[in-house]
Amino acid sequence: MQWTFLMLIHMVSFHFRPEAKVHLSEAKAQLQAIGRSIPEVLSLYVGEDVVHSGRSYDLGLVVTLKDEQALMVYNDHELHRPVKAFLAPLYDNAVAVDFIVS
């Protein structure tokens, strides 16, 4: 018997405004908290950049979810909305990729 396990990976990197970098720890804490509180989240990793190269972003987020429907639920979850509102004025650029792995 061959097993096929599909899951969706949601990755986001945030480039914070220079004056907003003092809020990195709080942003990390808020993201970690929702990872423990939203049932659709299978795992959530968040961390501050440690390399500080010219191409580095300041905060990275990796979330695993069952599928695209779970991503939609996560993205519009009542606990996620205030975190997105907190983050929005802190960063000047964010990049994301969402992909399915098996």
**Residues in the chain, overall count:** 102
Tokens of 46: 């968040």
Of residues 47, 12, 21, 17, the one with CA closest to residue 32 = 47
For the chain, the C-alpha Rg in angstroms (whole number) is 14
Domains and CATH numbers, the chain: 7-101 (3.30.70.100)
Give the pLDDT score at 49.
98
The answer to whether residue 100 scores a pLDDT higher than 90 is yes
The answer to whether residue 2 scores a pLDDT higher than 80 is no
Give the pLDDT score at 54.
95
Does the pTM of the predicted model rise above 0.75? yes
Gap between the Cα atoms of 9 and 82, Å rounded: 22
pLDDT digits (tens, 9 = 90+) for 15-73: 999 999 999 999 999 999 999 999 999 999 999 999 999 999 999 999 999 999 999 99
Give the pLDDT score at 6.
85
Give the pLDDT score at 5.
67
The answer to whether residue 4 scores a pLDDT higher than 70 is no
- Mapped to the 3 state alphabet, what secondary structure does the chain carry? CCCCCCEEEEEEEEEECHHHHHHHHHHHHHHHHHHHHCCCEEEEEEEECCCCCCCCCCEEEEEEECCHHHHHHHHCCCCHHHHHHHHCCCEEEEEEEEEEEC
